[in-house]
Amino acid sequence: MIHGIDVSHHQETINWEMVRKAGVRFAFIKASEGEEYCDPMFDLNIHGAVEAGVLPGSYHFFLPRYDPLAQARHYVRTLQENAVDAPTLPPCIDLETQGLGKAGLSQALRIFMEEIFNLTGRKCILYVSPGFWNSYLPVPVLSGSRLLRSEVDWAVEYPLWLAHYTSGWPYQIYPWVSWNFWQYTSAGKVAGVITKTDLNYFNGSLEELFKLAAS
């Protein structure tokens, strides 16, 4: 598996050359949040990653209390204003704030991700933990071994970035049969980053990682 990190302004100034020498091959970098907020380190981080040879991705911190269409457009605008002349991983939505009820959150999430596709032609990566997904989304209703109802089947079309801090293999969540990225700790140490940072694996080869960046 391929090693990566995810960062925001909380990691302060990052020495991306040292990060690359430490074996990090990709990085998800916070771009935006809600309808107006832009991470103040996004431009510096994404350009620094590219210059150091770290494949960059980005993410938007989703807030259910705001319009999902406005959030998607704000995120894409932020990406356009800080564009890099290099491959990037697909856009990503960071889902860890509850609200709107299960059906309402599922609908808002779907609206956001479909708008990202409409604006960029790219399928959004979904970041979520098993606990959040199973608690706040309308996951399948079962009767014995029989599926009565599922309102999240649509999500299987999108790559999954699973947040699960465990020493073993992460839990799988419906409707996916596997995960693309796994955030396995929030307390990692990487040369070039002065604070603790999230550490991730990509579930595939380097060739497959760059193929995803080209999609």
Residue 6 falls in the annotated catalytic set: yes
199: tokens are 């550490």
> Cβ distance 202 to 90 under 8 Å?
no
Helix axes 101-120, 68-81, angle to 10 degrees: 30
Strands 26-33 and 2-7, bridge-based pairing: parallel
169: left (phi over 0), alpha (psi -120 to 50) or beta: beta
Helix (H, G, I), strand (E, B) or coil at 186: strand
CA atoms within 13 A on the CB side of 215: 15
Residue 198 falls in the annotated catalytic set: no
| DSSP per residue, 10-77 | GG-S--HHHHHHTT--EEEEEEEETTTEE-TTHHHHHHHHHHHTPEEEEEEE--TTS-HHHHHHHHHH
Residues 12, 96, 157, 208: which is the catalytic one?
A: 96
| DSSP per residue, 139-151 | PPEEETTEEEE-S
Residues 6, 33, 115, 198: which is the catalytic one?
A: 6
As annotated, the active-site residues are 6, 96
